[in-house]
Amino acid sequence: MNTTSQHLKMTVYTALFVAFIAIGAFIAIPIGPVPIVLQNMFVLLAGIILGPVWGLACVAIYLLIGLAGMPVFSGGTSGIGRLFGPTGGYLLGYLPAVFVTGSISKGLGKKMSSDILAMLLGTLIVYGAGVPWLKVVTAMSFGKAITMGMVPFLPGDILKIIAAAVIARRLRPVIKL
């Protein structure tokens, strides 16, 4: 495949992942009392499937269209207000998270174990950006911010990471990147 073809393919795949991240907030799997929402799983998958650069472009475009007023953030919201709001840190944290996830996965040879490690670090980066932001906006203590903005979501995140690693292993032969 020549370079133009490869670029075109990556352009379309990146747009596809932008759409998946946007609608990920609306695809919920009812497990237990709280349904699992798949948005952050698609962010991490974008990193390990598209690689660090295209994955970063994918998340940047997602944030850009949300910032520009398209209702793609969770709850069908959009705009600069969402980035300044309590959950803005999580959204901005997707940028370094997808880059690090993609870099580690690529650097360690795209094996299932390296994908899991990459996504674990990516998830920690999302919380690393989201929890301090939540603390600042809501003026709560750091301990409370961790208890409310991180701990309840960790079991679901672990399930999503395992599922994403399996999906990536099955998807790579299909899309032949």
Partner 1 sequence: MAQLIPFTYRPGNSLLHRLDVRLKFFTICLISMSLLSAHLPACGGYALVLVFFFKTAGLNVWETLNSMKYFMLLLFFVFMARVLTVPGDILFVFHDISISEQGIMEGGLVAFKFFLVMVTGLIFSTTTKPSSVKSAVQWFLKPVPFVPEKRVAVMISLSLGFMPVILKQAREISNAQKARCADLQKNPIKRILRLVFPLLKKTFLSADSLVLAMESRCYTDDRTDPEFTPSGNERCFFAGTVVLCLSLVCF
Residues that bind partner 1 (CB under 8 A): 5, 8-9, 11-16, 18-20, 22-23, 26-27, 29-31, 36, 38, 41, 57, 61, 64-65, 68-71, 75-82, 84-87, 137-141, 144, 159-160, 162-163, 166-167, 170-171, 174-175
Question: Could you please report the per-residue DSSP string of 3-61?
Answer: HHHHHHHHHHHHHHHHHHHHHHTT-EE--SSSPEE-HHHHHHHHHHHH-HHHHHHHHHH
Question: Could you please report the per-residue DSSP string of 122-173?
Answer: HHHHHHHHHHHHHHHHHT--HHHHHHHHTGGGHHHHHHHHHHHHHHHHHHHH
| CB of residue 162 to partner 1, shortest distance in Å | 5
| CB of residue 108 to partner 1, shortest distance in Å | 22
| CB of residue 104 to partner 1, shortest distance in Å | 21
Task: Return the number of the residue (21 or 107) whose C-beta is nearest partner 1.
Answer: 21
Q: Please, are residues 65 and 14 in contact by the beta-carbon 8 Å criterion?
A: no
| CB of residue 109 to partner 1, shortest distance in Å | 22
Strands 28-29 and 36-37: antiparallel
Task: Return the number of the residue (107 or 162) whose C-beta is nearest partner 1.
Answer: 162
Query: Which two tokens mark 12?
Result: 């379309």
| CB of residue 140 to partner 1, shortest distance in Å | 5
Task: Return the number of the residue (107 or 154) whose C-beta is nearest partner 1.
Answer: 154
Query: Which two tokens mark 20?
Result: 């998946």
Longest dimension (CA), the chain: 54
Q: What is the C-alpha to C-alpha distance for residues 63 and 65, in angstroms, rounded to an integer?
A: 6
Task: Return the number of the residue (58 or 107) whose C-beta is nearest partner 1.
Answer: 58
| CB of residue 89 to partner 1, shortest distance in Å | 13
Task: Return the number of the residue (19 or 124) whose C-beta is nearest partner 1.
Answer: 19
Task: Return the number of the residue (107 or 151) whose C-beta is nearest partner 1.
Answer: 151
